[in-house]
Amino acid sequence: MPTNKTYKESSINKMIVQKLKEFPEDVAELSIVAVILSEKYPEMTVFEQLEALVREITKKRGNFVDIA
């Protein structure tokens, strides 16, 4: 059984995700993934996953510039 803290955080994150769905698709997708990943993974892992997602989104839009 989850602790009270885990339950509350999960409920809050669900509310955040619901609100984020009101934003433009790309913004919502990136933000929702950030919330979900941050529940389970360390900051650096979240950063790396979001960086990959941003690259994917910008490639889909056709305005990707690889500066790496």
Separation between Cα atoms, residue 59 and residue 66, nearest integer Å? 10
Separation between Cα atoms, residue 18 and residue 24, nearest integer Å? 13
Tell me if 17 sits within 8 A of 32, measured CB to CB.
Answer: yes
For the stretch 2-59, pLDDT in tens is: 444 554 557 888 899 899 999 998 889 999 999 999 989 999 999 999 999 988 888 8
Strands (E), the chain: none
Q: What is the pTM of this model?
A: 0.69
23 CB contacts (<8 Å, ≥6 apart)?
Answer: 31
Tell me if 64 sits within 8 A of 55, measured CB to CB.
Answer: yes
For the stretch 25-41, pLDDT in tens is: 888 999 999 999 998 99
